[in-house]
Amino acid sequence: MTPTDQLRAMSEEHSAHNYHPLPIVVAEADGVWLTDVEGRRYLDMLAAYSAVNFGHRNPRLTAAVKRQLDRVTLVSRAFDHDQFGPFVSELAELCGKDMVLPMNSGAEAVETALKTARKWGYEVKGVPAGQANIITFEGNFHGRTTTIISFSTDPDAHDSYGPYTPGFRTVPYGDAEALKAAMDDATVGVLIEPIQGEAGVNVPPSGFLRAVRELCTARGALMIADEIQSGLGRTGTTFAVEHEGVVPDIYILGKALGGGIMPVSAVVADRDVLGVFKPGQHGSTFGGNPLACAIGREVIAMLKTGEFQERSRTLGAHLHERLGHLPGDLVREVRGRGLWAGVELHGRARPVSERLMGLGVLAKETHETTLRLAPPLVIEQDDLDWALDQLEIALKG
């Protein structure tokens, strides 16, 4: 038995089978490269679903971690610490908002945004108690909690977990008329991914995000942008909503905010929205801890240089130009923005990701027929070109 087989057998035997990983066991990582337990190197074209936007073990981020590890790592929110104030003020400034509510995982931040919208709806908008509704979109992916999967339209994510949380209405993604028809006086929020990641890197029709913004303003509902996967440089701008010049009422951030090191998430909004929380009404033991804040501050400082957004823009243009030249008999459609692409195939994507792995490139299918490409934003053009050469070989079977 190889070391890979031995380790995979252990996880197969003792881990719940809620994932279907590629048959690789990673031992080390550096920048865009992963090395497995047998010394083989692979180019990472997934970047942990955009959590590793800045590359594996980015030296600026590991240095920030090491500095903070030698000072203080956790005090809970019972006490303030010297990274907290700077983190929330720097993140609020990056988003152009007043306030931040830090959490840990993405799903927790989405839950926080949903609670914010409901509380705001009852206490500020004046919706009668228990009547608030929130609109979501078909194909959405916002995490795995019981409430979030209550409005998932993916049977794998949704089925067999009832009874479900009420208060959500779901309309087709990209259909402004359907959204308008679903909204009423009790609508407190519209929860949207500016680009749907898990659904297959679905970019909405041009003008749709602006239409959502206008409808939310007209109906007095909060536009809640889940930028957990699309935000922080992935699409060539800090936030994907910027492509349509839209400013949501609430940003939900996660993944890359933790620098690929630990879970760090946040809800960011103005005072009239996040100001609804009083002591004891929401919280998290680990949310806003000193280590998380130190990492988050370094991430924000890196984003403020604009370097990563620029790389995603220019290399993303190159990525899409090359993907656009793939022959139609191999590829049905390519979607995406910046260094983010959903490559829609004629058949199953899993065998292609397995062949790619054999060629030294790691990418993952999403649903049956889409291959998702999202390399760390630090990738060099030579490496990107090499990965795309391997993709052409893998597609030809």
Ligand X SMILES: Cc1ncc(COP(=O)(O)O)c(C=O)c1O
Residues involved in catalysis: 141, 226, 255
Q: Which of 200, 204, 254, 287 binds ligand X (CB under 6 A)?
A: 254
List the helix and strand counts (H, then E) for the chain: 14, 15
**Segment 117 to 146, residues that bind ligand X, using CB under 6 A:** 141-143
CB of residue 24 vs ligand X: minimum separation in angstroms? 20
Side chain identity, residue 280: G
Q: Does 147 bind ligand X (CB under 6 A)?
A: no
Write the CB contacts of 105 (distance below 8 Å, at least 6 apart in sequence).
143, 254, 263, 265
Q: How far is the CB of 322 from ligand X (least distance, A)?
A: 25
Q: How far is the CB of 110 from ligand X (least distance, A)?
A: 5
Q: Taking the complex as a whole, how short is the minimal distance between the CB of residue 14 and ligand X, in angstroms?
A: 22
- Binding flag, residue 365, ligand X (CB under 6 A): no
Tokens of 41: 């190197």
Quick check: 49 binds ligand X (CB under 6 A)?
yes
Q: Which is nearer to ligand X, 120 or 137 (CB)?
A: 137
172-201 mask for ligand X (x: CB under 6 A)? ---------------------x---xx---
Stretch that binds ligand X, among 73-81, 103-111, 163-171, 323-331 (CB under 6 A): 103-111
For ligand X, the nearest residue by Cβ is 106
Angstrom CA distances, 377 to 132, 201, 233, stand at 40, 17, 8
| Residue carrying the six token digits 């793939």 | 326
| Among the residue ranges 35-43, 164-172, 226-234, 383-391, the one whose residues contact ligand X (CB under 6 A) | 226-234
- For residues 64 and 397, the answer to whether their CB atoms sit within 8 Å is no
Beta strands per DSSP E along the chain: 26-30, 33-36, 41-44, 99-103, 133-137, 168-171, 187-192, 222-226, 250-253, 265-269, 331-336, 341-345, 361-362, 364-366, 370-373
Q: Are 372 and 306 in contact (CB under 8 A)?
A: no
CB of 308 to ligand X, least distance (A): 18
* Interactions with ligand X, residue window 205-224 (CB under 6 A): none
| Residue 110 binds ligand X, judged by CB under 6 A | yes
Q: How far is CA 193 from CA 142, 240, 328, in A?
A: 8, 9, 28
* Contacts of residue 70, Cβ cutoff 8 Å, sequence gap at least 6: none
Using CB under 6 A, list all residues that contact ligand X: 49, 105-107, 110, 141-143, 193, 197-198, 226, 228-229, 254
